[in-house]
Amino acid sequence: MRDVTGGRELVMVSNRLPVDCVEAADGTKTWRTSPGGLVTAVEPIVEQLGCVWVGWEGSASTGGEPFEVASMRLIPVELSAREVDLYYEGFSNATLWPLYHDVIAPPEYHRDWWDSYVTVNERFAAQVAEVAATGAIVWVHDYQLQLVPAMLRKLRPDLTIAFFLHIPFPPRGLFAQLPWRREIIEGLLGADVLGFQRAADAETFRLTAEALTGCPVLGNHIALPARDSSPARAVLAQEFPISIDAEAFARTASEPEMQRRAREIRAELGNPAVVMLGVDRLDYTKGILHRFKAFSELLTDDELDPTDTVLVQVASPSRERVGAYMQLRNEVETAVGRINGEHGSVAHTPLVYLHQSFDREEMAALYLAADVLLVTPLRDGMNLVAKEYVACRTTDDGVLVLSEFAGAAEELGEATLVNPHDIEGLKSAIVRATTMPIAEQHRRMRAMRATVSSNDVSNWARSYLGAVSGAADAREAGRPAPTAAATIGEAYIPRKLEERLRRLAAAPQLIVATDFDGTLAPLVARPADARALPRAIRSLDILRDAAGVQVALLTGRSLEALHATGLDSAGWMVSGSHGLELNETAQQLIGESAPQKFMTPEQQELLESFTRRVWRVFKGEPGVRLEYKPFGIAVHTREVPDNAHAEELLAAARELGSRAGLIPLRGKQVCEFSVLSSDKGVTLRRIMERFPDAATVFLGDDVTDETAFAVLRQGDLGIKVGDGATRARERVGTPESAAAVLALLAELRTGVVVGSA
């Protein structure tokens, strides 16, 4: 598997190191592999590749010296007792865990917990930055370390950073509750590859990231723009369902010793007719109490024989200092006592409760001993126990009862799927499982074993680390990251904006207003060469003819210069010269609220004098173009080859205007002067006053459009086209994207599709 990483060093990063310390009576310490799901999943990968592993030892400490276990070099990270309390038991397990698991328990939000979470994530990032080899692949695991990718990228931009979330990613409405939601998203976007258990989790993350950061989603990628000294890049956010070493489990289960131990377990249970098994961490997300309730009612209803049926519940200790877990343990143990007290006897207890962990061999024996495995979490990222049971059933018998809300349900469709909240449905599934004909058991189990075998941990590692290695190859080769323009052309609409357009399109009355240059028409060196995009014009014409819709064009161009571009704006309201000119349609619709603009003799003389001065100063400057307007003049520097010199020329123009007593209106590579005062905001407000019940959409790209964005009300929509600070609430990248916005709005309003051709 070495080729999966391209020979690069692999650095694993997780909250806990993959080993537990065992201290002998004489004080000597040895280390054994932890029984957790992460370790079980990645152990075969680490055995083949070797790695550096950075993590916490599991108790409050000052850290410790690096040490080696098997093929791993382990780097302990220090956590104080206070940090264990705030970062781990607090923010990680009392804020993030319940929030990410659909608020089965209410999450708590405390600023000191968050501050500790940030501090510990910084410490992990610093430790990794110190030990990772140049160009290494760093694989960060799970919800406790979601800030590490961005922190590490700042410290070590040479690294390729991967992150895998082992638990579900919450729905957008739930994630929005988190006060630090943007910081979490930005932390994760520091990675090159983000892995999720389910396709739905990956999609939810992409949409959430787009909504909170404005970075567009391009397929399974999120496109991040260049910032500061960081180049533009794309983050792959995709599902990579985790799996197990199916062959190893099957091999263990086939050993005669394991089969003998399975028979012993059944004998120790009294050789009942039916053995059911539950294997979980003691966690409120696992649905243990729901399972017990269904089991108890089946015993009460005589659907199960309490003298010939046993449910073995393995509940591994978990987070025993967290209040919700202490309460759960009390409730579980109370339920165990009640069920056995009501249905047991001196010779037999129907519910065997084991609050302990077991090694892989004992678990394989338990899987072999169980006729039915009950996996009924209320929410689970994957649940490898379900896959382990299937892998161990080499005789193709046994029944898996599996919650619909476990990630494993997406792969193991032949299981008996249940909604654990539906106690009656869960009871029916248990009865069905205990009475399932052997032929049906064989059919279902063979199909599930084939799935688990083909999608085993090696396949998962090749898929996930292959994507990570591909990202490393692309960076080292200097290949540019995909952008909206490069990936899907220039007509991209963020999903968040799509949703807002759908709502606005249904408004009884609607005003659709837009700028011209840089919005309807791409910017060009010579303003006279500008032409509006045909798709944008067709869309506006369709909207103009739609019931309840008014179309307005607000431009800084004079009406004469606009007409020279060949634009046919019949039936639109058109405002030129920043509102100083109105076409006939605008005058008719706006009515008495439209001002009549005339220059006094003094203003006429000022304009002529200033125009002569500007012409005299700039007539010999290469690339400078002067645009004469009815009430002013504009100095364009778009064709000036040197950007610094262009800025100097615009500064000189502003100085001329200041001396003449004129206030400049600054735009993109243009400075405009007028002897009369108006702006697009004034004009748009008058239109909105004429149609007070209409919702308004305005698209613009320039500084001069900010006055129009400023007059929009709650419920209206401003869309900035291109880069730059803005009051607009939404943004698209290009005029082509603006045309796509108008086309979508036209389609939503009228049903007419306006293609890009």
What is the set of active-site residues?
A: 166, 380
Q: How far apart are CA 668 and CA 518, in angstroms?
A: 9
Q: Which of 220, 238, 261 is nearest to 369 (CA)?
A: 261
Q: How far apart are CA 716 and CA 500, in angstroms?
A: 10
The two beta strands, 72-77 and 51-56, are parallel
Q: Which of 410, 421, 568, 565 is nearest to 104 (CA)?
A: 421
Q: Per the structure block, which two tokens stand in for 703?
A: 């500084």
Q: How far apart are CA 147 and CA 371, in angstroms?
A: 43
Q: Per the structure block, which two tokens stand in for 13?
A: 């990063």
3-state secondary structure of 718: strand
Task: Tell me the HSE value of 41 on the side-chain side, using a 13 A CA sphere.
Answer: 22
Q: Which of 590, 509, 505, 506 is nearest to 549 (CA)?
A: 509
Q: Per the structure block, which two tokens stand in for 253?
A: 């289960």
Q: 137, 466 in Cβ contact below 8 A?
A: no
Q: How far apart are CA 67 and CA 708, in angstroms?
A: 64
Q: 306, 341 in Cβ contact below 8 A?
A: no
Q: 696, 705 in Cβ contact below 8 A?
A: no
- Residues with Cβ < 8 Å from 126, sequence gap 6 or more? 155
3-state secondary structure of 115: helix
Q: Which of 452, 441, 457, 373 is nearest to 411 (CA)?
A: 452
Please tell me what DSSP assigns to residue 608: H
Q: In angstroms, how far is CA 708 from the centroid of its own chain? A: 32
Q: How far apart are CA 740 and CA 731, in angstroms?
A: 13
3-state secondary structure of 694: coil
Please tell me what DSSP assigns to residue 414: T
| Ranges of H-type helices in 596-662 | 601-618, 643-660
Q: How far apart are CA 251 and CA 261, in angstroms?
A: 15
Q: How far apart are CA 723 and CA 701, in angstroms?
A: 8
Q: 585, 687 in Cβ contact below 8 A?
A: no
Q: How far apart are CA 287 and CA 402, in angstroms?
A: 11
Convert 294-325 to b/e letters by CB count within 10 Å (16 or more is b). Answer: bbbbbbeeeebebeebbbbbbbbebbeebebb
The angle that helices 360-369 and 246-254 make with each other, rounded to 10 degrees, is 70
The number of beta carbons lying within 10 Å of the beta carbon of residue 156 is: 18
Q: Looking at this protein, which amino acid is placed at residue 336?
A: V
Q: 534, 567 in Cβ contact below 8 A?
A: no
The number of beta carbons lying within 10 Å of the beta carbon of residue 753 is: 10
The beta-carbon contacts of 175-178 under 8 Å, at least 24 apart in sequence, are: 175/99, 175/208, 177/99, 177/107, 177/109, 178/95, 178/99, 178/109
